[in-house]
Amino acid sequence: MILRQTASRPGRCMVLAMALSLCVGAAMPAAAAPAKYDIDPAHFTVGFLVDHVGMAKIMGMFLKAKGSFTFDEQSKSVSDIKVVIDTRSVFTNHKKRDDHLRSPDFLNASEFPEMVFTGTQSEATGDRTGKIHGTLDLLGVQRPVTLDVTWNKSGIHPVYKTYAAGISLRGSFKRSEFGMTYAVDNGWVGDEVQLILEFEAIRQ
C-alpha cells in the first residue's frame, strides 16, 4: 500500500502541473491581433470648411461615403486604410451652390464621382492619437495628405452588440493642387479645404 502511494505521487504531480498550466493559460488574455473594420455608413460624417470672400467659412458635407481599415489595438497601428467619398452627394444646404460645387468649376462630379483617400502609413503620437499619411485622389490627381487621428473608444457597440471602434479624423488640403482653381486668385473661395471625419467602425 505504501509502495503504491509512493509510486503514484509522480503521476499525481504531473496531473496537477498540467491542470495548473491549463488554468494559468486560461487566465491569461489572448494576444491582440490586427482586425479588419468596416465603417458604418449610418454613423459616418464627412464634413468640410472653406473660406468664403474672407468673411466666414462655409460648412458642407458629403452625404455618402464608405471605408475600411485594419487596426491592431496592441501596437496602435493602422493599415489597409481606404475611404471612398461620393462627390455627387455634396451638401451645403443651398441648392444653387451645391449644383455649382458638382460642376466642372469644382468637383466635376459627373466625370469624377468619387474622391478616394488611401492610407499608406500610420504613426502614434500619443496613447490615443496619431497621424495617417496617405494619398488623396481627386479630379484624377493624386496628392499626399496627412490626417490627425483620435481613437475615441473601442468596445461592444450598444446597438449592434458587436465589437466596434469610434474614430475622429482631421486634415486639410489645397484644392488648387488638384486643379480646382476656380475663384482662388480673387479670394472669393478659399484654397484650403479643412476636412472633418467622424465615424463608428464595426470589427469584422
Say what the pLDDT of residue 32 is.
Answer: 61
Cα distances (Å, whole numbers) of residue 11 to 8, 15, 22, 81: 5, 6, 17, 54
Q: What is the pLDDT of residues 168-199, one digit of tens each?
A: 999 999 999 999 999 999 999 999 999 999 99
**Number of separate domains in the chain:** 2
Which residue type occupies 21? S
Say what the pLDDT of residue 1 is.
Answer: 34
Do residues 17 and 56 share a domain?
Answer: no
Bridge partners, residue 203, by sequence = 37
Q: At 100, is the pLDDT very low, low, confident or very high (cuts 50, 70, 90)?
A: very high
Q: Do 31 and 73 form a contact (C-beta atoms < 8 A)?
A: no
Cα distances (Å, whole numbers) of residue 85 to 33, 47, 116, 185: 29, 11, 6, 27
Say what the pLDDT of residue 128 is.
Answer: 96
10 has a pLDDT exceeding 90: no
| Residue 58, Cβ density class (10 Å: 0-12 exposed, 13-18 middle, ≥19 buried) | middle
Do residues 20 and 114 share a domain?
Answer: no
Q: Which of 93, 79, 7 minimizes the C-alpha distance to 47?
A: 93
Do residues 69 and 20 share a domain?
Answer: no
Do residues 20 and 43 share a domain?
Answer: no
Residues spanned by the domain of 129:
35-203
Do residues 108 and 153 share a domain?
Answer: yes
Q: At 150, is the pLDDT very low, low, confident or very high (cuts 50, 70, 90)?
A: very high
Say what the pLDDT of residue 23 is.
Answer: 39
Separation CA 116–CA 82 (nearest Å): 7
Region 83-89: mean pLDDT is: 98
Mean pLDDT of the chain: 88
Do residues 16 and 114 share a domain?
Answer: no
CATH number at residue 150: 2.40.128.110
Say what the pLDDT of residue 4 is.
Answer: 42
b/e code 104-139 from CB counts within 10 Å (16+ = b) = eebbbbeebeebbbebeebeeeeeeebebebebbbb
13 has a pLDDT exceeding 80: no
